[in-house]
Homo-oligomer: A and B are copies of this chain.
């Protein structure tokens, strides 16, 4: 496929990423303006590079006709949360929206990948409007904690160095680090819950 056609293909995906990042950032802002705790801490987005799309098509044996249906992460949005429990809250916010339709959910949080990767993935259908009219596209939303993101950022940068062929003993060390991260997230959530219980009990006493 020549570059001009690629560009045309990617136009609605670029638009979708920009709109989605803006909408989730606005949601964070709306929480703050209403003095509510925001389960969203950070939002980023990207359109998959042409090279990565081609690699995925080859690896998964996807034909040109199936491209837009089967490469579901051409448009990708990442939402970072502070606490483990926020992940489900964000997922629920997304399920309730009327401007996107959830097609599939993949729970790599409770079902960690072998590598140690943890994230909650949602594939959505999202309508964009281009010069050629309305076009519905697929997008992938990844939801994870700051700690899971720390692990994933570093794992990605190391995988990149090994071009996917990381020696088993290093992979094992990374996977053990992922366990520590899970414990950290659990500990942080537990401290937080204790903080909130204390607050509620103080509130309760002051109301007696």
Question: Given A154-B192, A161-B196, list of 17 further CB < 8 A pairs?
Answer: A15-B23, A18-B22, A19-B19, A22-B22, A41-B153, A83-B154, A98-B133, A99-B127, A99-B129, A146-B146, A147-B147, A150-B150, A150-B184, A167-B198, A176-B187, A180-B183, A180-B187
Q: Of the 9-residue stretches A25-33, A46-54, A57-65, A102-110, which lies at the interface with chain B?
A: A25-33
The smallest beta-carbon distance between A125 and chain B, in angstroms, is 15
Residues B153 and A82 in contact, CB atoms below 8 Å apart = yes
Query: Which one of B149, B150, B177, B188 lies within 8 Å of A154 (CB-CB)?
Result: B188
Total copies of the chain: 4
Residue count of chain A within 8 Å CB distance of chain B: 61
Residues A157 and B82 in contact, CB atoms below 8 Å apart = yes
Residues B167 and A187 in contact, CB atoms below 8 Å apart = no
Contact indicator per residue, chain A 8-28, by CB within 8 Å of chain B (1) or not (0)? 100100110011001100110
Query: Which one of B97, B134, B146, B166 lies within 8 Å of A150 (CB-CB)?
Result: B146
Complexed CA–CA distance, A167 and B195 (Å): 9
Closest to A190 in B: B173
Residues A158 and B195 in contact, CB atoms below 8 Å apart = yes
Q: Which residues of B contact A147 (CB under 8 A)?
A: 147, 150
Q: Which residues of B contact A187 (CB under 8 A)?
A: 173, 176-177, 180
Contact indicator per residue, chain A 80-105, by CB within 8 Å of chain B (1) or not (0)? 00110000000001001111000000
